[in-house]
Chain A
C-alpha cells in the first residue's frame, strides 16, 4: 500500500489548487451566504442582449468551423492516409499539427498581416483591380472564423486520420468489388466506419471554439464579442464578478454537455 502514497502529491496538489477553487467559483455563482440564492444572475445572462449575442455567436461560430473543418479535413485526411512513403506521411502530419504548437498571439498576429489594411488580401485585390481602396477585413466575424479554422482544422484532420488508419483496408476494397463507387461508397462505407473519429473531431473543434480566447480577442476585438472575450471583459474591465462567474459556468456546462452528448452519439454510432 505504500506505493499508492506516490499518488498523494499529485492528488493533493490538484485538489487544493484546482478542484477547490473551481468548486468555489461554481457554487458562488449560485449561492452566496450574504445574498442567498442567485439564479437571477443566470436570468440576466440570458436576457441581456450583450451576453445573449456573445453566447449565440460563439455557438454558431463553433458550428460553422466544425462544418468547414470537416469538409476540408476529411479529403485532407484521406489524402494523408493514402501516402505510401512513411517519412513523408509523418512530415505531413507534423506540419498539420505545427500551427497548434505555435504561440497563439504570434499565430493570430500573422492573420493581421494577411487581413490588414495593407495586408496580403487587400494588396492582392487592389493590384487585381477588384477594389480601389482597402476594405475592412479585420475585426469581423469572418476574420475570427479564419483564425479559428486555422487553429482547429488540425484537430479534425488528426482525429480523422487516426480513424481512417484504423479502417481495415479490405472493407472498401470489398465494397468496390461489389460495385460501390463515389458518393455511395463514401456514405455507406467510409462515413459509418469513421463515425467515431468524426464525432470526436467535431467535439474537439466545437469545444475548442467555444473556449478559445486569443483568436476572437485579437481578430474580433470588442466588435465581435464572443463568450470568452466577454468573460474577460466582465472580469477585468468592468469588474462585474457575478456576471463573469456566470459566464464561466455557462461555458463550462456547455462544454460538458457537448462532451457528454458526443459520447452518447459515439455509442449510438458504434451500435449501428
Chain B
C-alpha cells in the first residue's frame, strides 16, 4: 500500500519531468526525444517573467507583514492568559478555515469593485491575511519549546520586556520564524483562490497566468515551467527538512 500511495502522490511529477523534454509541440509521455527549448522559451516569455516577479513580490511582502503582525500575537497567546484569548485564537485561525474562494470573492466585492485599493494592494492584503494563521501557529509552537523561565531569568537580570523580546526570545525562536517564513512564502506564491478573483488585466500572479495560458496552448512549455516550479519546491522542502525537521507542519 505504501507503494500505491507514493505512485499516486509522486508519479505525475516524474511524468511531467520527462514530458518537458519532448521536442514536438504535444504533451506526451514517454517523450520522443530530448530538447531544452521549452525551458528556454518559458524563461524568456515576458508574460511569465512579469507574473513571476509579481508572485515573488507578493510572497515576500505578505510573509514579511504576516510575521510583523503575527509574531506578537503568537508570543502573547503562548505566554499569557487574557480575557479575549479564545476569541483572538479563533480570529487568527479564521483565514485558514474560510474557503479561499469565499475569501477571494469577498475581497473582490469589497475592495476592488468599490475602488478602495488598487489590485496589487488588495492582493497583498489578501495574501497577508491568508498566511497570518501559519505565522501565529508556528510562533506558538516554537515558544512551547522555549521555556518562559529563560525570559524570566533575563528580566530578573535587568532586561526590559522589549530587550527581552529582541535579545532573548527572537534569537531562540529563530528556527520557528524561518520555517514559518518558508511556509508562508510557498503558500502565498502558490495561492490561486484569492489571486483568481483579484487579478486583472496586466496584474496577474504566475499560477493564474499559467492557467490562462493552458487554456489556449497545449504544449510542453507549461510542462517545462511546471517542472521548474516542482523542482524548486522539492529543493526547498528537502532543504527545510534537513535543517528544521518536519515537525513544523504537524
Do A and B come from the same complex? yes
A residues contacting B by CB (< 8 A) are: 3-4, 6-7, 9-11, 13-14, 17-22, 24-25, 28, 72-73, 75-76, 79-80, 90-91, 93-99, 101-107, 109-114, 116, 118-120, 123, 146, 149-150, 153-154, 157-158, 162, 207, 210-211, 213-214, 217-218, 228, 231-232, 235-236, 241, 244-245, 248-249, 251-252, 255, 259
Q: With the chains together, A123 CA to B206 CA distance in Å? A: 31
A94 touching B109 by the CB < 8 A rule? Answer: no
Which residues from A are CB-within-8-Å of B233?
98, 101-103
Complex interface: chain A residues within 8 A of B158 (CB)? none
B36 within 8 A of A: no
A207 vs B99: C-alpha distance when bound (angstroms): 9
Chain B residues within CB distance 8 Å of chain A:
1-2, 4-6, 8-13, 15-16, 19, 26-30, 68-70, 72-73, 75-76, 80, 82, 88, 91-92, 94-95, 97-103, 105-111, 125-126, 128-129, 132, 161, 186, 189-190, 192-193, 196-197, 206-207, 210-211, 214, 222-223, 225-227, 229-230, 233-234, 236-238, 241, 245-246, 249-250
Point out the residues of chain A lying under 8 angstroms from B75, CB to CB: 6
**What does DSSP make chain A's interface, helix, strand, loop or mixed?**
helix
B249 touches A97 (CB 8 A): yes
CB neighbours (8 Å) of B73 from chain A are 6-7, 10
Q: Contact between A217 and B211 (Cβ–Cβ < 8 Å)?
A: yes
Going nearest first, the 3 A-B pairs with the smallest beta carbon separation are: A106-B226, A118-B28, A21-B110
CA distance A3 to B222 in the complex (A): 50
- Kindly provide the distance from the CB of B141 to the nearest chain A CB, expressed in whole angstroms: 14
Given contacts A109-B223, A120-B29, 8 further A-B contacts (CB under 8 A): A98-B10, A101-B190, A106-B210, A109-B210, A112-B27, A119-B28, A207-B99, A211-B100
**Could you say which residues of chain A place their CB within 8 Å of the CB of B1?**
72, 75-76, 79
Determine if B101 and A231 form an interchain contact, defined as CB atoms under 8 angstroms apart.
yes
Number of contacts between A and B (CB, 8 Å)?
Answer: 248
User: Which B residues are CB-close (under 8 A) to A116?
Assistant: 27-28
Output the least CB separation between A41 and chain B (Å).
15
Question: For residue A110, which residues in chain B have a CB less than 8 angstroms away from its CB?
Answer: 12-13, 15-16, 226, 230
